[in-house]
Amino acid sequence: MDKTPILIAEDDPMFRVLLQSWLEDRGYDVVVAENGQQAWDQLQAERSPKLVILDWMMPGLSGPDVCRKLRSRTDLRYRYVLLLTARSEKQDLVAGLEAGADDYLSKPFDALELHARLNVGRRILELQEQLLAAQEALRFEATHDGLTGVWNGGAILQALDRELQRAGRMQTALGIMMLDLDNFKQVNDVHGHLVGDEVLRTSARRMSETVRVYDLIGRYGGEEFLIVAPGSIAAALQQQAERIRASIAEPINSSAGMLRISASIGVVGIEGQRSLPEPHALVRAADQAMYRAKAKGKNRVEEGVLQEAEVGS
Ligand SMILES: [Mg+2]
């Protein structure tokens, strides 16, 4: 069985050794801090134990001090904190819990009691993990397209907004592509929707395999995809779009046999703009370029231009 990692912070060397060996005998993997500051340093590390025992009285940062610091940092993952103290006044207990401790135990500790309370902590941490996993699954469902697994329309627009602001802040380039599968309706009409879905999935997978790792792909509409390419300057953007176009044009081995589909792509990039365009202006420019690619015979890449008026504000 895996050992449960636990962090203990105790300034009294005798008691620290006692606690450490008691825990190790019970199968815990013990990380030791000799004072509050060391404990706090540990807690800020991503991979430090989730189960924590803090002595109340320590020089520098006390147990409750460490607790308060920990609870004020929402970016750190949840820790189950047990405060250990020689104090036994009720008001102290309240102060400890108010500082953010989950539980409280008096010194000298009763072995059975500590054992039982640590088990409670482990159970709560387990529930917390399950809750996070369920939350993550929900978040994924809410932001991803169920069919293709890429971002959905709402999420890719949010990502565009975020990347646009970042590009403005960092004065870096940003490119977007609007991609529409050509004659997709025919696939559905001739082979049925299930084959249409296969074509959508395969096309999305080819896009994912062709873009750079930090590019973002979203299903914008039925057979329309929006790709956000942070840092991509105009020339690179064209080449990238060309690679994506070529990958989609490869024959698709579907359940209805070999199929061919192509894509028309409109690209538009911003670079060192004095003022940022609105996301919708960028999308509209890419959209117009995509329609121009359609008009010029499909299966091609066209570059869009942002209208000066749209670069304002
Ligand atoms: Mg102490």
Q: Are 55 and 85 in contact (CB under 8 A)?
A: yes
Domain that holds residue 272: 153-311
Distance 7 CA to ligand 1 centre (A): 15
Strand residue runs (E) in the chain: 4-9, 28-33, 51-55, 80-85, 103-106, 174-181, 216-219, 224-230, 252-254, 257-259, 263-270, 301-303
Give residue 121 CA to ligand 1 midpoint distance, Å.
22
Q: Dump pLDDT digits (tens) for 235-279.
A: 889 999 999 999 999 999 999 999 999 999 999 999 877 778 899
Same domain, 135 and 169: no
Cα of 15 vs centre of ligand 1, distance in Å, is 9
Mean pLDDT to the nearest integer, 147-173: 94
- pLDDT (0 to 100) of residue 87: 67
Check whether residue 98 and residue 163 sit in a common domain.
no
CA of 50 to the centre of ligand 1 (A): 21
Residue 146 belongs to some domain of the structure: no
- Is 135 in the same domain as 244? no
As a whole number of angstroms, the distance between CA 105 and CA 55 comes to 10
127: domain CATH number is 3.40.50.2300
Q: Is 223 a catalytic residue?
A: yes
Q: Which of 98, 116, 141 is the last residue of a domain?
A: 141
Query: Residue 313: its pLDDT value, please?
Result: 44
Q: Which among 87, 112, 141 is the end of a domain?
A: 141
169 and 103: one domain?
A: no
Cβ-proximal residues to 113 (8 Å cutoff; 6+ apart), any chain: 105
Tell me the percentage of the chain whose pLDDT exceeds 90.
Answer: 78
Do the domain assignments include residue 147?
A: no
Measured in Å, residue 106 CA sits from the centre of ligand 1 at 12
Q: What is the pLDDT of residues 23-46, one digit of tens each?
A: 999 999 999 999 999 999 999 998
Same domain as 205, residue 180: yes
Boundary of a domain, candidates 120, 141, 162? 141
Within a domain: 275: yes
Dihedral sign of CA atoms 208, 209, 212, 214 in order:
positive
pLDDT digits (tens, 9 = 90+) for 68-89: 999 999 888 899 999 998 766 6
Q: What value does the mean pLDDT of the chain take?
A: 92
**pLDDT band (50, 70, 90) for residue 151:** very high
Name the active-site residue from 10, 223, 302, 303.
223
Distance 19 CA to ligand 1 centre (A): 13
pLDDT at position 291: 97
Statement to judge: residues 31 and 128 lie in one domain: yes
Considering the domain architecture, whether residues 37 and 123 belong to the same structural domain is answered as yes
Name every residue whose Cβ is closer than 8 Å to that of residue 105 and which is 6 or more positions away in sequence.
82, 83, 84, 85, 113, 114, 117
